[in-house]
Amino acid sequence: MLSIGSNINEVRVDGNLSKLHRDLASFLSIGLTAAEITVHGIDAIKNGTLDQRRTAEARAILDDFPFCYSVHAPNPLNLMDQNHGALHRDVLMASLNFSAAINAEVLVYHPGRFLVEEEFALRGPLLLGVDEQMKLLEMEASILKEAADQFPGIIIAMENARPYLHHSPYCYAECPDQLKNQVSQIGRKNVKINLDFGHLQMSSQFYNLDPVAEVRAIAPLIAHCHVHDNFGNPVYHTEKTQTHQIPFGKGDAHMPVGWGAIPIRDILAEFVSSYDGMLICELRSRYFDQTRESANNLVTILKELGAGNSIAELAVS
C-alpha cells in the first residue's frame, strides 16, 4: 500500500518540538498518511549519542498522529570518514535507535563521500586510485552490514547523490548503477535504495544519463522515495541561495511535484505497480504552503498510472 507524505524540514523546525507538532497537524489536515522525521532537526542526537529524554518527548508527539514514519539520518553522516570514523558509526547507530524508538519503517542514509561537501572550499576535486576507493567502499559496507544485522526490522535506504560542478565525482552514489553495486555488495535484505527524484535529474544531466533507464535498472532495490521537482541544472557548491538559482533553473530546488522538468510520471511508471512504500514530497521549507498541491499533483500522476487504488486512504483535496 502506497503512503504519500512529506518531510519535517529540519530548517523550519530547528529543534523546536512545538513546530514538529504544528507540521504534523498540518500534514494530517491535508490528508497525508506519512511523514519523514529529520532526527537532526529535533536535536535527538548529541555528540553521537541518542538523547533518550528528547526521543521520549518526540515519541509522545508522534504517537498522537496516525502516520507511517521514516527517519532521515543527519546529512553530514559519512561512513567513509577516516578521521572520525567511530563518531560517524555512533551517529548511524543512534539514528537507527531513534528509528526503532518511534517505530519508523525506514532510515534514509546519504552514502559515503570520497570528499565531503564541508571540505569543498578547502580543496579541488579529489582524485583517488581504484584501490583507495575500494577500501572506502569496503569500510562503509562493513558498518552497514553490522547495522543491518542489528536492526533487521528497519530498512536502511541509501540515497542516490546529487553532483556538483568542479567537485564531482565526490560520491559514488551520484550514478545509480554504482549505488546498486554497493547495495548488492552489502547483501542485506534490509539495505535498499531511496530514490531521490531531484538528485536523479541532476545526475542525468551532468553525466548524460537517461533517468528512466537508470530507474529501470535499480527498480527491484527501490524501497523509499523522495519525490520533488527541479530543472536538473547542476551548480557549484557555493551556490546555495534559492532565490538566485530558481530564475535560472539551477540547483537541487526541492520544488513541489509538477513545478519543474523531471519526468516524474515516466519514472514512477518503471516501478510503482510493484511498490508499496512511502512517497515523500521532500520540499524545501519555502514550499511548506504548497505541500497540499505537491501531494495532489502526485496523486493525479498515480491515478493516471492506474495506481490510485493502492494509495493508503489519501484524502488531499
Q: What whole-number distance in Å separates Cα of residue 93 and Cα of residue 33?
A: 27
Asked if 30 and 305 count as a contact pair (C-beta separation under 8 A), the reply is no
CB of 4 within 8 A of CB of 34? yes
Note if the bond before 220 is cis, omega within 30 degrees.
Answer: no
Q: What is the mean pLDDT of residues 286-303?
A: 96
Q: Can you tell me the distance from the alpha carbon of 252 to that of 101, in angstroms, rounded to the nearest whole number?
A: 31
Q: What is the pTM of this model?
A: 0.96
DSSP 165: T
Of 224, 222, 220, the closest CA to residue 278 belongs to 224
Judge whether 17 and 292 are in contact, CB under 8 Å.
no
Task: Provide the pLDDT for residue 125.
Answer: 77
CA angle at 101 for the pair 27 and 224, rounded to the nearest 5°: 55
Q: For the chain, how many structural domains are there in total?
A: 1
pLDDT confidence of residue 314: 53
SS3 (DSSP) at 94: helix
Please provide the distance, in angstroms rounded to a whole number, between the alpha carbons at the two ends of the chain. 20
24 pLDDT band (50/70/90 cuts)? very high
pLDDT tens-place string over residues 86-145: 999 999 999 999 999 999 999 999 999 998 888 888 877 777 888 999 999 999 999 999
At 48-98, the pLDDT tens digits run: 999 999 999 999 999 999 999 999 999 999 999 999 999 999 999 999 999
Q: Is residue 315 part of a domain?
A: no
Whether 282 contacts 228, CB under 8 Å: yes
Report CA Rg, the chain.
18
Mean pLDDT of the chain: 95
As given in the structure block, the three cell numbers for residue 289 are 504552503
CA separation for the pair 109, 250 (Å, rounded): 24
Cα atoms in the 13 Å half-sphere on the side-chain side of 159: 25
Within a domain: 256: yes
d(CA 145, CA 295): 34
pLDDT at site 166: 93
Helix residue ranges, H only, the chain? 10-13, 17-29, 52-62, 85-101, 130-150, 176-186, 197-207, 211-218, 242-245, 264-269, 291-304
Domain, as residue range, for 50: 3-310
Q: Read off the pLDDT of residues 158-189 as tens digits, 9 standing for 90 and up.
A: 999 999 999 999 999 999 999 999 999 999 99
The proportion of the chain whose per-residue pLDDT surpasses 90, expressed as a percent, equals 91
In a domain, 316, yes or no: no
CATH number, position 235: 3.20.20.150
Residue 106: closest CA among 176, 183, 191, 198: 191
Q: 52-62 vs 85-101: helix axis angle to the nearest 10?
A: 40
